[in-house]
Amino acid sequence: MTLLGPSGCGKTTFLKIVGGLISASSGTIQINGRDVAEPQPDFGVVFQQANLMPWRSILKNVLFPMEILRRSDSAATLRAKELLALVGLEGFEQSYPSQLSGGMQQRVALCRALIHKPKLLLMDEPFGALDELTRMEMQDLLLDIRVKTGATVMFVTHSISEAVYISDIVAVFSKRPSVIADYIVVDLPYPRAAEIRYSAEFTDLEHRAGRALGITR
């Protein structure tokens, strides 16, 4: 599911409330009938910045959540290596973040968010700082990872095509004061590949989201 909206509409705030990082001024969030008012260890978070620790090797960065959760063992190390291989970073385990490009760092951040097998992955404009080509690669990678891990993803973006491409559902936020302007069910078939971006259905969905955002008629 993707939260799509203009900057400043509160979609990041909403995501942080879901993640328990800030508390809602009113109302409650329920997930599977459970109130979430504080961070849940079975959530994974990816931010706009990779937020890697420059003093840790790539492998140790990925293992960070396991250390905090006191589940750091050889199985965890093995899984970290598998995840790194999955995102195409095999052989970079002992490198340091400063040796990696922005896209590679964001892939490490993705591995770190997945290391403890979260049921829900919260992603706050994770590809926003990347160039267009890297961004499209990362979107395909995310679709792939969703299939392989079975995690639910809540994704924040202000890119219409990104929202349509990667989602089952797009919730469109309006400008402040924000309301959910549209709730779009994306019924494009899987597996999705870049060609689908040029299909009529895809363009129609983009149009609909654009109308909800008030930028097209």
Partner 1 sequence: MTFRDVRNTIYPVVGITIVLLGWQLYTHLLGINRIVLPSPLDILSASIANWDVLLRESWPTFLESVLGFALAVAIGIPFAVCVANSRVLNLTFYPILIATQSIPKVAVAPIILVWFGLGMQSKLVIAFLVAFFPIVVDTAAGMRATPAGLLDLARSLRASSIQVFLKVQFPAALPFIFAGAKVAVTLAVIGAVIGEFIGSVGGLGNLLLTANSQLDSPLAWAALIWLSGLGILLFAAVAIAERIVMPWSEIGHH
**Binding residues vs partner 1 (CB under 8 A):** 19-21, 38-39, 41, 43, 45, 47, 49, 51, 53-56, 64-65, 67-69, 96, 98-99
Tell me whether residue 54 or residue 150 sits nearer to partner 1 (CB atom).
Answer: 54
For the bound state, the minimum distance from the C-beta of residue 35 to partner 1, rounded and expressed in Å, comes to: 16
For the bound state, the minimum distance from the C-beta of residue 95 to partner 1, rounded and expressed in Å, comes to: 8
Copy the structure tokens of residue 6.
């203009």
Tell me whether residue 99 or residue 199 sits nearer to partner 1 (CB atom).
Answer: 99
12 vs 4, 16, 68, 177, 184, CA distance in Å?
A: 10, 6, 25, 14, 19
Does the N-terminal peptide bond of residue 126 adopt cis geometry, omega within 30 degrees of 0? no
Tell me whether residue 65 or residue 103 sits nearer to partner 1 (CB atom).
Answer: 65
Tell me whether residue 51 or residue 77 sits nearer to partner 1 (CB atom).
Answer: 51
Half-sphere exposure of 167 (CA within 13 A, CB side): 27
In whole angstroms, give the CA distance from residue 100 to residue 106.
10
Tell me whether residue 152 or residue 161 sits nearer to partner 1 (CB atom).
Answer: 152
Q: Are 113 and 46 in contact (CB under 8 A)?
A: yes
For the bound state, the minimum distance from the C-beta of residue 93 to partner 1, rounded and expressed in Å, comes to: 15
Tell me whether residue 96 or residue 188 sits nearer to partner 1 (CB atom).
Answer: 96
For the bound state, the minimum distance from the C-beta of residue 155 to partner 1, rounded and expressed in Å, comes to: 16
For the bound state, the minimum distance from the C-beta of residue 113 to partner 1, rounded and expressed in Å, comes to: 9
Q: Are 169 and 185 in contact (CB under 8 A)?
A: yes
For the bound state, the minimum distance from the C-beta of residue 123 to partner 1, rounded and expressed in Å, comes to: 12
